[in-house]
Amino acid sequence: GAGVSQTPSNKVTEKGKYVELRCDPISGHTALYWYRQSLGQGPEFLIYFQGTGAADDSGLPNDRFFAVRPEGSVSTLKIQRTERGDSAVYLCASSLGGPDTEAFFGQGTRLTVV
Amino acid sequence: SQQGEEDPQALSIQEGENATMNCSYKTSINNLQWYRQNSGRGLVHLILIRSNEREKHSGRLRVTLDTSKKSSSLLITASRAADTASYFCAPRSGNTPLVFGKGTRLSVIA
């Protein structure tokens, strides 16, 4: 596609439910990032993939959060037993990889846990 | 990975004025990137400056980098209402992830 695509754009779920958020990166981009952002804050780093493997998952807040990228393209962020505090905009970005490359962001998924 | 700290947290100026925001970081870098975010959705890359560069221009944007002070500044000249957004810096060392601070919220008043 022309840009990074995130689906759904909005998701409302009940506390305790499981959710999956999808990110389709730009074709050919080997690096993929997930962030979450609360109102008035900067994007909080969650996890970074190079290809299929998680190069850095130090930002995942706890074991309820998990992300996969099985074929080195599409990635899914999975959140188990959602809590109201998980409500935020979840942003995905991709880049060609390498230190001097820019990241392209999707428009985010707004997750609301009620 | 390291995150930059943007300063000021908020800035309000009149249309046509220049806006300057600063970024400080802690350890040596390969490059520093600036991003803009409108309306709390996706960030847009503005400019990348490498550690061996001191100044870079792109349209109305001018970025400087002082590695001895571990700081960078972003200048937007002749600001427009459409420049109203949050601005983030991301210092980068090697192939580490991009990490963002709280940003500078710029308001340009028409």
Checking if the pLDDT of A44 tops 80, the result is yes
Q: What is the pLDDT along chain B (110 residues), one digit of tens a residue?
A: 788 999 999 999 999 999 999 999 998 999 999 999 997 678 999 999 999 999 999 999 999 999 999 999 999 999 999 999 999 999 999 888 999 999 999 999 99
Residue of A nearest to B40 (CA): A39
As a whole-number percent, the residues of chain A with pLDDT over 90 amount to 93
Strands A44-50 and B19-24, sheet pairing: unpaired
Please tell me which of the candidates A37, A99, A104 has its beta carbon nearest to residue B94: A99
Cβ A20 vs Cβ B77: under 8 Å = no
- DSSP H or E run through A21: strand A19-24
Checking if the pLDDT of A102 tops 90, the result is yes
pLDDT at position A80, please? 98
pLDDT at position B40, please? 65
As a whole-number percent, the residues of chain A with pLDDT over 70 amount to 99
**Which residues of chain B neighbour A103 with C-beta distances below 8 Å?**
33, 35, 43, 45, 98
Checking if the pLDDT of A99 tops 90, the result is no
Q: Do A104 and B100 touch (CB under 8 A)?
A: no
Q: Encode burial over A68-80: b for 16+ CB neighbours within 10 A, e otherwise.
A: ebeeebebebebe
Distance in Å, alpha carbon of B79 to nearest chain A alpha carbon: 22
Secondary structure of residue A84 in the 3-state scheme:
helix
Of residues A114, A99, A113, A101, the one with CA closest to residue A36: A113
Residue of B nearest to A54 (CA): B97
Task: For chain B, positions 54-83, list CB contacts with chain A under 8 A.
Answer: none
**What is the distance, to the nearest Å, from the Cα of residue A103 to the centroid of all Cα atoms in its chain?**
13
Residue A3 banded pLDDT, cuts 50, 70, 90: very high
pLDDT at position A1, please? 52
